[in-house]
Chains A and B, each alone.
Chain A
Amino acid sequence: MSDRAPIVAARGVTRVLGGAVPATLVRDVDMEVAAGEFVAVTGPSGSGKSSLLYLLGLLDRPTRGRVLFDGVDTAGLGGDALAALRLARMGFVFQFHFLLPELGVLDNVALPMRRLGRLAAAGAEARALGLLARLGLADHARKSPDQLSGGQRQRVAIARALANDPVLILADEPTGNLDSASARLVFDVFASLAAEEGRAVVVVTHDEELARRATRRLRMVDGAIVPSGAPPAGTGAAGA
């Protein structure tokens, strides 16, 4: 564990989805991620990994418990304040790349910078090009997303997540549909984002081999975090 102050922390977080049959997606989770940490979250399908990520990313609010960002309880923040935090401090990568089809590759990456408005148009473009180069996509900047392969799009999405130099990166199965070489490249990027640049990185993955490269591993079962060293008897370690 890191001795640094956590960037994001969950304190007794429970998320119940109302409805005819209320479903508990996340159950009493306590966790924190500090700068420089690369945390891998594993667990069977339906165990609540994505749901936890939405809570840490302030896209969703807990039913019980608190999510602290930079030591501040986010329960007291309004929608605009949360949006501002996501814009300037976080980067999301989803399982299905999720690029905006109307915009070119470069514009997709520059989009968060333009929304933030800290960089002038030329500066944003230069930075976006740099990020694309870092992910091995320098030659594809002028293309439209639908001219790229699935793996390439996923890397564009990662570049976009890095646009505003976030302290926290949240990725939901970013290598879900990548070949193993691309997957390794993506994990190298995440590892260096944490180790060399001191960002906090949380990655949900099914890939046990890749998960081993994280500085810390969390295993979720049935919405709760279970001790990763000793999986409960009878539960398959490999997940779903």
Chain B
Amino acid sequence: MRLALELALAQLLRRRRQGVVSVLGVTLGVGFFIAMAAMMQGFQRDFVARVIDVQPHVVVKDEFRRRPAQAAELAAGPRAAVELRGEKPVDEPRGIRGARAIAAALGDMPGVAVAPNLAGQVFLRYGTREVAATLTGIDPEAERRVGNLERDLVDGSLDALHAVANGLVLGEALARKLGARSGTTLSLAGTQGVVLKAKVVGVFRTGITSLDTSVAYALLAKAQVVLERPNVVNQLRLRLVDPEGARDFALRVEERFGYRSESWQESNANVLGIFVIQRAIMYSTIGAILVVAGFGIFNVVSTVAWEKARDIAILKSIGFRERDILAVFLLQGLLVGVAGMVLGWVLGFLIVAFMGSLRFEIEGFVRLQGFVLHRTPLHYAASGAFALATSALAAWIPARRAARADPVDILRGAT
């Protein structure tokens, strides 16, 4: 093996320029792999962490996934064939029936905290500005158990909701859109025509854009007034000790109580779906770079093998076996791969370090100050494995041809 390595190295050094180009191809592939993976995974993990941190893990809503059974069907029983004409749907009064009992049952489960809410559309007016928002009526004590709203307050307090007649806590971006801040009195209009004067007693910033731009909190009782839904609760917000299990938990809750229960994964399915696409794009881009690098390796090994036909004949006449020759040329590809991998690691490390040093503000799904980077040895291992596999594969084809070459054919051609 040492002999094969020495021969491989000696032959490769004869093709220095081509070798360097191939090495650089692998270097770029590996370097960008590490940089892009750090950036993308960093961002995605950050997003998920924030969502888990800020949003309820499961929301039980006053909706059903399946259309509720209709009057005629109810009368005829589930197995009967019923034709419905001009039916009138059973008009469910919106809201979660028996919300208190359900909340109590959920709250008794280990690792589960519950807060009842009423959420609905409202208009906030201040001066000439009018902005649509989601008003969520909360019970501050329960809310503390299911979220970190209090921590996310940049101004004011939750307790102040009790202190004034109609207190409101606004998302920072929403407040900015209205031109309002703590202490501002604005008017709060429900869709049924109720209009109240309300005072801003707090401003929060979660970092999740969709919340910060469109959510306002008030006491549950006040929200029920504005939305004209006395005593109604249309959401139960749950926080779990194990957020990863939210999907299964939501399924069980829905099965038991019938109401649509959304896990945070489902609520953010669009964003998580984009992440999947992002990952696909990243891996195909890196795959393309590595394929190009693979062609470089294929090229250099083919060239050497072609140039070295005579040497192959000599080695075979001396008594080198096919697999010895194969090893010599395969090792050339692997040498390129290893060199490219190590340089790529350095490049990737440097790019990540550089990106980490940048500071800027962007607002996408979340609000960021610079890149969130996820650094893990796994990226180095994965990119290295990719690089070596590509190199071995690219070298394999010409190496096998070289190993199988008939020395007599070569000798006949040469003399």
Contact = CB atoms under 8 A, between A and B. Distances in A.
Given A54-B411, A94-B411, A86 B319 contact: yes
B408 A59 contact: yes
Interface residues of B, number: 25
Contacts of A111: 3, 318
B11 A102 contact: yes
B319 A115 contact: yes
Contacts of A187: none
Interface stretch (A67-75, A76-84, A209-217, A225-233): A76-84
B300 to A, nearest CB: 15
B104 interface: no
Contacts of B11: 102
A80 to B, nearest CB: 5
A59 B409 CA distance: 10
B311 to A, nearest CB: 6
B256 to A, nearest CB: 70
Given A100-B311, A102-B14, A115-B3, A92 B318 contact: yes
Nearest to B412: A50
A83 B319 contact: yes
Interface string A147-173: 000000000000010001000000010
Interface in A93-116: 94-96, 98-103, 111-112, 114-116
A87 B319 contact: yes
B318 A86 contact: yes
A114 B407 contact: no
A112 B319 contact: yes
A103 B320 CA distance: 16
Given A100-B311, A102-B7, A115-B324, A88 B407 contact: no
B46 interface: no
A197 interface: no
Interface in A127-143: none
Interface range, A side = 20 to 34
Contacts of B375: none
B138 to A, nearest CB: 78
Nearest to B318: A112
Given A102-B7, A102-B11, A102-B14, A96 B415 contact: yes
A83 B407 CA distance: 12
Contacts of B315: 100
A111 B321 CA distance: 14
Nearest to B10: A102
30 contacts: A50-B412, A50-B415, A54-B411, A59-B408, A79-B321, A80-B321, A83-B319, A83-B321, A84-B321, A86-B316, A86-B317, A87-B318, A90-B319, A92-B318, A95-B415, A96-B414, A96-B415, A98-B310, A98-B313, A98-B314, A100-B315, A101-B311, A102-B7, A102-B13, A102-B14, A103-B7, A111-B3, A112-B318, A115-B3, A164-B319
Interface of A: 50, 54, 57, 59-60, 79-80, 83-88, 90, 92, 94-96, 98-103, 111-112, 114-116, 160, 164, 172
Interface of B: 3, 7, 10-11, 13-14, 310-311, 313-322, 324, 407-408, 411-412, 414-415
